[in-house]
Every structure is written in C-alpha cells, then in structure tokens.
Amino acid sequence: MAFKSAILGIIFRVRLAPHQLLGRNVGRLRNQAGLTQEQLAEKAEISRGFLQEIEKGAKNPTMNVVTRLKRALRCTWEDLLRGLE
C-alpha cells in the first residue's frame, strides 16, 4: 500500500508542458460550452484534426490560433491559460 501511495505521489507531481495545459483547458472549456470539436474548429477557423491534436497536447498552436480559440470559446485569457505558472 505504501508503494502505491508513493507512485501516485510521483504521478501527481509531474507537471504538464504549457501546450499540454493549454490543450487540456481548451477541451474543458469546449465541453463546458457544449461544443463538439467540429463546431469549435469551425468557429476558430481551424481543422478538427488540428483542434484534436491541440487538445491532446500534441501540437503547440501559434498565438493567432490561441486567440481565435479564445474568441470562439468566449472565455477569458485566465480561463484559457489556467494552471500556467
């Protein structure tokens, strides 16, 4: 049991890269807005595949794309960048 607790402690201390945190926030905000990936991608004028890669943390979008996502989600910069230090 102590070993399991130690492993869980290590896992939860791992920090995500900024683009991974951004992707997680985009996915969370999209779900809260009740949008599909297709709908958000269309609003932000990007492909659904690119949005999927952003949400997975596999792509690091440009500031232009992040700005379009922010507008499409109608959220604040704080909401979009939550968790970044």
- Give domain status of residue 51, yes or no: yes
Per the structure, the count of domains in the chain is: 1
- Give domain status of residue 53, yes or no: yes
d(CA 20, CA 25): 9
**What is the model's pTM?**
0.81
- Give domain status of residue 36, yes or no: yes
**pLDDT tens figures, 3-49:** 555 544 444 556 789 999 999 999 999 999 999 999 999 999 999 99
Host H or E run for residue 61:
none
- Give domain status of residue 64, yes or no: yes
Host H or E run for residue 49:
helix 48-56
Cβ contact 17:57 at 8 Å:
yes
Which structural domain range is residue 76 located in? 22-80
- Indicate if the pLDDT at residue 85 is higher than 70: no
- Give domain status of residue 6, yes or no: no
The CATH number for 67's domain is 1.10.260.40
- Give domain status of residue 10, yes or no: no
d(CA 8, CA 66): 32
